[in-house]
Amino acid sequence: MQYIIGHLLNFIIKMQAHKLKVWHDELGPVIRLQIGAQPWIVVSDPSIVHYLFTTNGTTSSNRPYQILSAHYYSRDNSGIAFGKANTRWRRLRTIAASSALSPAAVSKHMKFIRSEAVRLAEELISSSTQSILENKNGINPLGSFRRASLNYVFRAVFGTCIESGDDPRLQSALDFTDQTNMLIGTHKDFEGFLPILSYINSWLPNRGNKLLGEFLRTRDPFLRAATNVGYGSAWLIAILLHHPDVYKDLCNEVDAFIRTHEGRLPDFSERDQLPLLTSCQKESMRFRGTNDVTLPHLIEKDVNYKGYLFPKGVLVLPSAYAMHRDPDRYPDPEKFIATRFLSNNKTMAASAAGKVEDRDHFMFGFGRRICPAMHLAEVQMFILVTNILARCDLKPPLDRTLPDLDDGRDAGAVMSPPPFKVIFTKRENSLLK
């Protein structure tokens, strides 16, 4: 059995990235795995991944052909995330950038991002108040954060937005992102791991993948990643519940800005005046990220680097979780240190474009397929969080149970915080005009 499935059972487990970290500690930064029929190499040294995906990008920028992600989700490799790295894919990345993701597009929609942030803060306060009136423990903020981040894509791509949590399009879009994230997760491609399953599946009536194909034909695949910022922001709130002193310092930092700027909140371009928040955003993504392993790249020509051979046909998977726990790069990696990046106020996108040894974190991936929404993600999170800090007090739930930060939920292509409760109240001393 082991001969047929290889390391498969170790690969499809909950918190797979944690297992990979244990192996890296034992075996080193480059580990070859046999997942069913497919050889994989997982890498925890950023300079090796940089060499493979950036320096050698021409032969390592394709994704593997996986039945769920490439065939159904990406309509035979024609979308962005799982499209073949060809002219069409480059054009799609350019269109996505100009409509929604580039700094110019994000600036164009800034008013909307701000109004969504105000709406989010109000929603968090009113649903917390309601939960207390109903003698409940508090609210899980993840749904509200996901709606806020999803709405940006609705506005920028479809020119519409979801006003209320009761709008049926909201549930339908959230279901869509949940299902696609679940199905395209690196460790979900069972038919790729064991090709015989493809053959068996093709004989099954109402084959699940066929249904997914029908489902996707009616929706836009770009939506899939749209809630990632919501997951990332919810992680930050979960972490801050454990660090009320940091929350207070962040409120003071935002207040100091408001006081000296006629009662208004900062623009993203003024973030150098909020060094603690800038540092916390980076530290939160390092400490509890949404992409503990990033997406695999296919190696199309043998590459030798530092004595390692990466043979043609192997899939390389960056172990971001293990990278973020390297004590030489991040002293005390198991601790959330709010001030860790105080002296590094480069934007995340600028950092990702710089030298690999100077990068702040690796949550957005590497090389030509690096997340095209890095700028949007950092700006959106900054605006959502500054609004919450200026408008809300953050309190633990009535039973005072704090989120279990070691218990991320595998949502397929993203790592979600576990369900947790929190209470947001209106800040009576808010300085906003």
Q: Which two tokens stand for residue 164?
A: 């209320």
Stretch that binds ligand HEM, among 118-126, 160-168, 196-204, 286-294 (CB under 6 A): 286-294
DSSP lists the bridge partners of residue 33 as 40
Q: Which of 66, 278, 290, 430 binds ligand HEM (CB under 6 A)?
A: 290
Nearer to ligand HEM, 138 or 365 (CB): 365
Judge whether 280 is annotated as a binding position. Answer: no
- Tally Cβ neighbours within 10 Å of residue 35: 23
Q: Is 52 in the site for ligand HEM (CB under 6 A)?
A: no
Q: Which of 363, 383, 384, 415 binds ligand HEM (CB under 6 A)?
A: 363
Q: Is 170 in the site for ligand HEM (CB under 6 A)?
A: no
CA angle 93, 68, 33 (to 5 degrees): 95
Nearer to ligand HEM, 80 or 170 (CB): 80
Q: Which of 145, 287, 321, 366 binds ligand HEM (CB under 6 A)?
A: 366
Stretch that binds ligand HEM, among 158-166, 183-191, 367-375, 384-392 (CB under 6 A): 367-375
Q: Which two tokens stand for residue 72?
A: 């159904």
Nearer to ligand HEM, 143 or 365 (CB): 365
| Sign of the C-alpha dihedral computed for residues 20, 25, 26 and 29 taken in this order | positive
**What is the residue-wise DSSP string for 330-367?**
SSSTTS--TTTTTT--S-HHHHHHS-GGG-S--TT--G
Q: How far apart are CA 426 and CA 121, in angstroms?
A: 9
The answer to whether the beta carbons of residues 386 and 413 sit under 8 Å apart is no
Q: In angstroms, how far is CA 373 from the centroid of its own chain?
A: 10
Q: Which of 16, 180, 294, 319 binds ligand HEM (CB under 6 A)?
A: 294
Nearer to ligand HEM, 52 or 258 (CB): 52
Q: Strands, E, within 93-223: which ranges?
A: none
Cα-based distances in Å from 242 to 136, 211, 246, 391, 392: 21, 42, 9, 20, 17
Q: Which of 20, 41, 212, 377 binds ligand HEM (CB under 6 A)?
A: 377
Query: Which residues contribute to the site for ligand HEM (CB under 6 A)?
Result: 80-81, 93, 153, 225-226, 228-229, 232, 290-291, 294-295, 363-366, 369-373, 376-377
Annotated binding site: 371
